[in-house]
Amino acid sequence: MDNPYWSSENRAHHVNRDAIRAICFDLLNVFGGSKTLADEMMALEAEAIELGEAIDLAASRLWALQTEFAERAISERLLQLALLTRTYDDILRNSSSAQAYGAHANATRGLDEIGHLEGRDFDLREACNKIVHALIIRPLYEDVDPYVVEGQGEVQRFWYLTGEIELSGRWRNADWEAVLHVQPFVETVLDRIEFGDPPAPGDQVE
């Protein structure tokens, strides 16, 4: 039996487009579920108040689950997505399909859609870089329109993820800050990988 090492020449990372799409799906669900759950919590609390019932929705198991895992899931999925997308991009830019892929990549940069860095727009590749190198990642929140009780003011407020994320880090002794719009970012990733699977081992340009 021959040494398997010799059959791995020119073999790149294995990048599964379905795995990328699954991560995109997870991210959309985290953000979409956040707004849906916050709306439901506010509606339930408003109904309880109208009925004169006491209820502590902050103790809801669903709400506690969302609060505990949402930001962790965002961080993990974003990092996975950025790494896989950058790797996909690198492989195809150096493959036998480089010319065709370059034209496709130029048309799917998401330059004026996915966010901005220090006051200027950035594209998909740079967004992936910033996600990977960010030292701080902070999702932004908004609160559901509060239910107001006459004579009591607002009831407790419920916050949901807006789909924007602040990223910050440091490069060559200089601080940087960026804002990422998650849904356009995910959509741009999906557009990018529509080019097709990376070439088979041995088809990379040497």
**Tens of pLDDT, residues 66-125:** 989 999 999 999 999 999 999 999 999 998 899 999 999 999 999 889 999 988 989 999
User: Domain for residue 198, yes or no?
Assistant: no
Q: Per-residue confidence at 56, pLDDT binned at 50, 70, 90?
A: confident
- Residue 159 backbone phi and psi in degrees, to 5: -110, 145
Model confidence over 135-144: pLDDT tens digits? 999 999 998 8
Confidence (pTM): 0.86
In a domain, 10, yes or no: no
Q: Is residue 204 part of a domain?
A: no
Domain that residue 82 falls in: 17-193
Residue 3 maps to a domain: no
**Assigned domain for 4 exists:** no
The count of domains in the chain is 1
Is 47 inside a domain boundary?
A: yes
Residue at 160: amino acid letter: Y
* pLDDT, tens digit, 9 for 90 and up, residues 146-161: 666 555 555 677 899 9
Half-sphere exposure of 35 (CA within 13 A, CB side): 10
2 domain-assigned: no
Q: Is residue 182 situated within a structural domain?
A: yes
